[in-house]
Amino acid sequence: MRENCDVSLPGEKQANGHLHPFSQAINQLADIFLSMGFEVVEGPELETDFYNFQSLNYPPFHPARDMQDTYFVKNPHGKENLVLRTHTSNVQVRTMEKRTPPLRVCTFGRCFRHDAIDASHEQVFYQVEGFVVDKEISVSNLIFTMKSILSAFFEKEVEIRLHPSYFPFTEPSYEISFTCVNCNGRGCSLCKGSGWLEIGGSGMIHPNVLKAAGYKEGEWQGFAFGWGLDRLTMLKYKINDVRWFHSGDLRFIRQF
C-alpha cells in the first residue's frame, strides 16, 4: 500500500500556552512571600460554616455575616452548613490547628460572593492573604511586611497608610491604602486625586481566633492581611475592567 504522507517531513509546530495575568501575579507574589520566609498553603473553596465564619469570630446570626453576601450549599452528608468561601481567611484556623507557632503563612485562591457585577466587582474573585503568629508581633511588623511586599510587586517604593476599620477576626482592624502607583502619590484620576489606593483589610489577629485554633490564651499573637488579587493585577497591568479576566477572550490574555 502506498504511503499518503512523508513521515520524514518535520511535524507541525504547536503553539505554546500562555499564563493568565492572575497566574503571573500569583507566581510573582509567591516568590516574594517565599523570599521573606513565608510558607504557601491552600484551602478548600467549598468550606464549612465553622472555618469560614465561626472560627473567625463570626457567631451564628452575627450581623457582620451580612457583609459577606454568601452562597450557601446544601450538605448531603451532615447537618453543618457548607458555603462557597467568602474569603481566604478560612485557611487561618485550618493551618494553625496543624502547626505549632511561629508561623508565617500566605495563601491564594478563589472566593465567592453574590455581588452585582460591574467593572470593579465580580461574583468570583481572587484574594491573597498573609498571616504571622509569634511571641512578639506588632502593628509595626504588619506595616513593614505589607510595604515590603507591595514595593517588590510593583517594583517601586510605596508607602502604607492605615485607617481604623472593623473586621470580626482582627482587633484592632485597619483598611490599607498605599501610594498610587500611577502618579506616585501626586494625585490622578485613578486615585481620584488623593494619591492613595485602597487595597484591602488587615489587623492584629483576634484572641478568639487564636483560641479557636487551640492556642493557649495570651501566649501567642499575630497579624493578618488580605488583598484583592484582582485589583492588584489590574493595577500591575493597567487593566480597566475586572470582567476581562473571566471573558475567555484570547486576544486579552495574549497581551500579557
**In angstroms, rounded to a whole number, what is the distance separating the alpha carbons of residues 20 and 28?**
13
Q: Tell me the mean pLDDT in the region 106-134.
A: 91
- Residue whose entry in the numeric block shows the C-alpha cell 467593572: 119
Is 82 strand, coil or helix? strand
Q: Which long-range contacts (CB under 8 A, 24 or more apart) does 159-164 make?
A: 159/185, 161/196, 162/202
Is residue 174 in some structural domain?
no
Is residue 232 in some structural domain?
yes
Domains of the chain: total: 1
Give the bridge partners for 125, in sequence order. 111
Question: Nearest CA to 44 among 109, 105, 124?
Answer: 109
Q: Which residue has the higher pLDDT, 8 or 232?
A: 232
Q: Residue 141 is placed in which grid cell?
A: 511588623
Q: Tell me the mean pLDDT in the region 160-167.
A: 93
Is residue 163 in some structural domain?
no
**In angstroms, rounded to a whole number, what is the distance separating the alpha carbons of residues 146 and 149?**
5
Reported pTM: 0.88
Is residue 4 in some structural domain?
no
Confidence label for 158 from pLDDT (cuts 50, 70 and 90): very high
Q: Does 129 score more than 60 pLDDT? A: yes
**In angstroms, rounded to a whole number, what is the distance separating the alpha carbons of residues 176 and 183?**
18
Q: Tell me the mean pLDDT in the region 112-139.
A: 91
CATH of the domain at 50: 3.30.930.10
Question: What value does the mean pLDDT of the chain take?
Answer: 90
Is residue 100 in some structural domain?
yes
Confidence label for 2 from pLDDT (cuts 50, 70 and 90): low
Is 83 strand, coil or helix? strand
Contact 93, 55 (CB under 8 A): yes
The amino acid present at 139, given as its one-letter code, is V
Contact 244, 230 (CB under 8 A): no
Is residue 191 in some structural domain?
no
Domain containing residue 79: 23-153+219-253
Is residue 203 in some structural domain?
no
Q: Could you read off the pLDDT of 60-114 as tens digits, one per residue?
A: 888 888 888 899 998 887 777 899 999 999 999 999 999 999 999 999 999 999 8
Is residue 5 in some structural domain?
no
Instruction: Kindly state the percentage of the chain with pLDDT values over 90.
Output: 64
